[in-house]
Amino acid sequence: MGREGERVRLMAWVRGRVQGVGFRWWTRARALEEGLKGAATNLDDGRVEVVAEGSREGCERLLGHLRSGKTPGKVDSVVEHWGPPRGSFDGFVER
């Protein structure tokens, strides 16, 4: 865990049956509940890329949601990468 109030950027690549099942909408709703900004984007290879910026705690909770087994569709794996926030998002969008 980082220090309290630390701002971070989470990038997560979600593999499984996650396109065409409401997964991006569901991810957006969870991210907004956590006060995060970012995007959920369908990739050509069938994965969904999730980029979220905000508190480390909120991003870790979002990652937990992605891995919870309670998502739309079926998640087979989630690969994560952490970094500093870039501040390039206004709200949370589906692409």
| Active-site residue (options: 7, 15, 17, 42) | 42
Question: Is 9 a known active-site residue?
Answer: no
In 3D space, the residue among 61, 5, 49, 57 whose CA is nearest the CA of residue 23 turns out to be 49
Question: Is 42 a known active-site residue?
Answer: yes
| Active-site residue (options: 9, 24, 28, 30) | 24
Q: What amino acid positions are annotated as catalytic residues?
A: 24, 42
